[in-house]
């Protein structure tokens, strides 16, 4: 289907403010593929992938700015969506160390701990601004 892997195309990860794309982390793509299989997903939708320096979301040290993060929704085969908590559990099972739930049905996943970043591990609730680190 895509040019990055069976399920994903680089256009899905383009910056929302300018459309620019960068090389996305292969760790990220591989783990998203594993999640797709583990969750028997119909699709994993990328809500936010790469973020350029002008993108108003995130911070200057944001993992999205490095091409190593994605905010995702996971669709079941019946068309409904998994909860943020279900996505976070699957993300942890496939090896993501940066996980942030966004209620009701989205999750941030990133490859910190496997690629250089300011923190090696993070779990949190981005909706409620809670860090569980």
Does a structural domain hold residue 77? Answer: yes
CATH of the domain at 72: 3.30.1380
Does a structural domain hold residue 70? Answer: yes
* Structure confidence by residue, pLDDT tens digits, 77-131: 999 999 999 999 999 999 999 999 999 999 999 999 888 777 766 666 666 555 5
Specify the number of domains making up the chain.
1
Domain that holds residue 48: 10-131
Does a structural domain hold residue 31? Answer: yes
> Of 67, 8, 12, 13, whose CA–CA distance to 33 is shortest?
8
Stated pTM of the model? 0.89
Does a structural domain hold residue 1? Answer: no
* Structure confidence by residue, pLDDT tens digits, 32-81: 999 999 999 999 999 999 999 999 987 888 899 999 999 999 999 999 99
Three-class secondary structure assignment of the chain: CCCCCCCCCHHHHCCCCCCCCCCCCHHHHHHHHHHHHHCCCCEEEEEECCCCCCCCCCCCCCHHHHCCEEEEEEECCCCCECCHHHHHHHHHHCCCCEEEEECCCEEEEECECCECCCCCCEEEECCCCEECC
Does a structural domain hold residue 4? Answer: no
Average pLDDT of the chain, as a whole number:
90
Mean pLDDT throughout 17-37?
Answer: 97
């Amino acid at each position: 289907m895509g040019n990055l892997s069976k399920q994903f195309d680089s256009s899905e990860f383009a910056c929302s403010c300018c459309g620019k794309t960068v090389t996305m982390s292969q760790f990220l793509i591989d783990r998203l593929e594993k999640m797709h299989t583990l969750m028997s997903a119909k699709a994993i939708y990328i809500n936010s992938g790469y973020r350029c320096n002008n993108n108003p979301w995130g911070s200057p040290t944001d993992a999205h700015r490095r091409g190593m993060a994605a905010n995702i929704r996971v669709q079941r085969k019946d068309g409904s969506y998994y909860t943020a908590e279900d996505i976070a559990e699957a993300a942890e099972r496939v090896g993501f160390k940066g996980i942030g739930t966004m209620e009701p049905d989205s999750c941030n996943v990133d490859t910190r701990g496997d690629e250089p970043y300011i923190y090696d591990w993070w779990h949190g609730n981005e909706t409620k601004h809670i860090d569980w680190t």
